[in-house]
Amino acid sequence: MRNPAVSIIIPVYNASNYIERCAHSLFRQTFDDIEYVFVNDCTTDDSIEKLQKVAEQYPHRKERIKIVSREKNGGVSASRQTGVDNSTGNYILFVDNDDWIKPEMVETMYNKAKSEKADVVICDFIIEKNTDNEYCCGYISANKEDYLYDMVENKAYNAYLWNKLIDRRFFDLSDCRFNENLLIVDDWFALIRIYYYIEKCVKIDEAFYHYNRQNPSAQTAPRTTSKTSAQCENTILFYELIENFLKGKGVYEKHIDIIERLKVESKIDLLTQVFDIKTRKKYAYLYRDIEMKYIKNFRRGERIILFLTRYGFHSLAHLTLLLIIFKNRNNSK
């Protein structure tokens, strides 16, 4: 039996309020040659039961639906790798369990991949918000030489897996496997490695994917959510993994300025989202050797917090952060 044209991989975890809409959008695709791999990441709600009820409404899809259950919860990276390992499609598309896609997405993107002989096909997407929606244009580099460079820099909403149809042969490479210890920004790390290898990437100027920002448990947390020590450790791991990969390929020096700037931006992000003084103090050492090189890139309040933290005035930095938050809330009223 030949492999399906496309495998759609969907990690499932506590998505009871959204999984039915997601599943309907997947099973209503105008393209028939699709394999569906749902990965149950030890969900604690009735997501799988609801998924199965929806699947019963699409008997023509039955033979191509897989529900793979993990023995323990591992997060989105682990679930995506489990999905890849249990898929057989020639191209792979990732969909988050609280999002949904337009009926013609797979057919249009697959046909584009075949006609253009492309390794990756990108589409635009819509961010679904509580008040209004935002149309976002997927980014495509001008030429092959810029693919990796632009992905490392994460230009214009580029570091998402779910608006990209990708040739599965890249996921079969040993150094393109998902890192199960990376709990956030796993999309970005996966794509940096894939973009090192690809030869051709093309884009369709239509928003096929709807990304749900209304879900409070969504992978991307709002800026008002306090980061934890685990997330700080994840940030450190992320940059270690990127550096090791780029150095291993002999291309790190080309990207060193971007990586260093992103490190300092991440430190600022952590300093302004960690509301626990002890945690902020614990990670004050991060990237201290390069932070002053990029301090002019930040807003005045961020520069003050970075400066105070650098010289050990952690309580004063915390007070400054609270004043900035208070001011921003008043300005938004």
At residue 309, the pLDDT reads 93
DSSP state, residue 130: S
Determine the average pLDDT of the residues in 143-170. 91
Q: Where are the alpha helices (DSSP H) in 146-283?
A: 147-153, 186-197, 229-248, 252-271, 277-282
CA atoms within 13 A on the CB side of 281: 9
Task: Kindly state the percentage of the chain with pLDDT values over 90.
Answer: 76
Determine the average pLDDT of the residues in 103-109. 98
pLDDT in tens, 229-272: 888 899 999 999 999 999 999 999 999 999 999 999 999 988 88
At residue 223, the pLDDT reads 31
Alpha-carbon distances, residue 119 vs 114, 128, 224, 285, 302 (angstroms): 9, 28, 37, 41, 40
Q: Is the pLDDT of residue 17 over 50?
A: yes
Answer yes or no: are the C-beta atoms of 109 and 30 closer than 8 Å. no
At residue 306, the pLDDT reads 92
- Name the CATH topology of 6-212: Spore Coat Polysaccharide Biosynthesis Protein SpsA; Chain A (3.90.550)
Where is average pLDDT lowest: 18-22, 43-47, 280-284? 280-284
pLDDT band at 6 (very low <50, low <70, confident <90, very high): very high
At residue 1, the pLDDT reads 64
pLDDT in tens, 192-224: 999 999 999 999 999 999 999 765 454 433 333
Q: Is the pLDDT of residue 45 over 60?
A: yes
Question: What are the residue boundaries of the structural domains of the chain, listed by start?
Answer: 6-212, 229-332
DSSP state, residue 249: T
- Average pLDDT over the chain, rounded to whole? 91
pLDDT in tens, 58-72: 999 999 999 999 999
Q: Is the pLDDT of residue 168 over 50?
A: yes
* More confident: 131 or 94: 94
Q: Is the pLDDT of residue 130 over 90?
A: no
pLDDT band at 292 (very low <50, low <70, confident <90, very high): very high
